[in-house]
Amino acid sequence: MARQQLLAQSECPVARTLEAIGDRWVLMIIRDAFDDVRRFSEFQKRLGLAKNILTVKLKMLVELGVFNIQPASDGSAYKEYVLTDMGRAVFPIVVSMRQWGERYLFNTGESYSVLLDHELSEPVETIAVRSKAGKVLTPADCHRRVVKRQG
């Protein structure tokens, strides 16, 4: 079944997001793009992913609208994969996953990378779900309802 058909079958945004970008390699490609990786060869080298699989994943991300393909910024004959607004909007998802992993998946004494803010060179603040009034919310504080997308 085509990806667009699968995406259109669920009224759940989480299910649609997982169908679109929930693949391990897709998220690792996007993560590397946040670190300014843009070329196929750079993605392949950093991820160690087979070229045929990387080709399929990047093609899908371009079709989805997460990346645009542009001429290389250095004027060479290469092409670059550049995040779109849609792609850059994945940043909080990746940061949230990173912070969850930092908290729960490393033992005392293990090394791990930390995301630092350029201006202060300090770890970024932990992401929290908040009400419009600023209160930190838990799952018990929230409920769902179905609405129609506007505009």
**CATH architecture under which domain 3-141 falls:** Orthogonal Bundle (1.10)
> What would you measure as the largest C-alpha separation in the chain, in angstroms?
54
* Structure confidence by residue, pLDDT tens digits, 121-146: 999 999 999 999 999 999 999 999 98
User: Once rounded to an integer, what is the mean pLDDT over residues 108-117?
Assistant: 95
Show me where the domains of the chain are located.
3-141
108 burial level (CB within 10 Å; 0-12, 13-18, 19+): exposed
User: Once rounded to an integer, what is the mean pLDDT over residues 48-65?
Assistant: 97
Cα angle, residue 136 at apex, residues 35 and 104 outer, rounded to 5° = 50
Give residue 3's pLDDT: 57
